[in-house]
Amino acid sequence: MPKKTIILGVTGSIAAVKAENLAKRLKEIGRVIVVITEAAKEFVAPEGLAKASGNRVVTSLFEKYRKERETVEHISLAEEADLLLIAPATANTISKLANGIADDMLSTLVLATKAPILIAPAMNTNMWETPIIQENVAKLKARGYRFIGPAFGRLASGRMGKGRLAPLGRIVKESERILKEKKDLIKKRILITAGPTQEPLDPVRFISNRSSGRMGYALARAALSRGGGVTLISGPTQLLPPSGAEVINAQTAKEMRREVLRNFKKADVFISCAAVADYRPKKREKKKIKGERNFTLELERNPDILKEVSRKKGKRILVGFALETENLIKNAKAKLREKNLDLIVANPYSQAGRETNIVKIIDKKGRIQNLPRLPKKEVARRILDRIARMLK
């Protein structure tokens, strides 16, 4: 692999003492330039990092400008980077990045670069688990930032807990994987549906299901990272929208159908990941239904969005999902045939709502790819690998 440029950001965690070793290991996969914060200098010397990386260490936003009267350096470094790795990343750094604060060289670089950003947190367990840090991490993930760790182990306080810097070998391996990441969906339009739909009974109640939307959102982020243009039509979820995607909200199956048909023409790939309600109430009450009497609820069929667009398929790639409580393979294959799909992703009901998934990817010839339990972002990557090969 041609030498790529890795910007290694080192911040003021005690885990910064590992930064020299990390820089040495990163040199095996690319050219390393270290950017160090003021707080990190309390734990590691810039001179040692310069020797380990083989390049000068950037310590200040205006350092080069003061010496050479050149323009400030953050833009040139930002454009040079193939990967921006922050290891270790403190709670303070994570919070600054989540809120767009750029008050030093590293945080300014983050805002200026278009390179992938990988963050390896290291902090006390209590700090990592505090709601505000978790909210900030979720914000950054929604914007496409990658995270590795933290790991469980003995902390600087002497206690055991989650907060240690991820093992250096894992950080290097993940960095290498990102540097080798394909941009094989450039100029392709990917239309994805995600989440549940809600079918109102009255002004305050509705029929829905347990879909979290995580799988569809993971697919959207993965497609964006590969250069695809993504339109995400989302039912109601608690998830932050993926940065860079066109996100369209839809509550009911009818609304989702309308938005899918409106966007289907310009799509190269349609991934139907939403859990669309099969039925809706035949009559919607105008006032809240009181619990003073029994009543009969009459349902009627919702439109079958995937079946409808399959008739207009053309050269597009269609991918569906099948969540089943029984006869997983049999039911998934039947759906594959009935809806003229190129791939179907079959997963058992027992996996619904989890951060991980165990799926089987089935193609038109009935061949089955069995995946082990994986994080949903990894499942998304495997699905897009198949789609990218088919686009070629």
Give the integer Cα–Cα distance in Å for 110 and 102: 8
Tokens of 300: 């009627």
* DSSP symbol at 194: E
Structure tokens at 209: 């299901």
Looking up tokens 């990092």, which residue turns up?
Answer: 49
- Residue 44 near residue 20 (C-beta atoms within 8 A): yes
- Cα–Cα distance list, 325 to 193, 275, 351 (Å): 22, 14, 10
Scanning 154-252, the segments in alpha helix (DSSP H) are: 168-179, 214-225
- Start-to-end C-alpha separation, the chain: 22
CA atoms within 13 A on the CB side of 308: 13
Strand 151-154 to 229-234 pairing: unpaired
Continuous segment of H or E residues that includes residue 390: helix 376-391
Q: E strands, 223-329, where?
A: 229-234, 246-249, 269-272, 279-281, 299-301, 317-324
Question: Tokens standing for 33?
Answer: 């330039």
Instruction: Decide if 209 is catalytic.
Output: yes
Helices 19-26 & 168-179 angle (0-180, nearest 10):
40
In whole angstroms, give the CA distance from residue 7 to residue 349. Answer: 43
In 225-327, beta strands by DSSP E: 229-234, 246-249, 269-272, 279-281, 299-301, 317-324
Phi, psi (rounded to 5 degrees) for 36? -115, 140
Q: How far apart are CA 172 and CA 167, in angstroms?
A: 9
User: Which of 21, 126, 136, 209 is labelled catalytic?
Assistant: 209
- Whose CA is closest to 384, among 270, 244, 222, 141? 222
The residues that are catalytic are 209
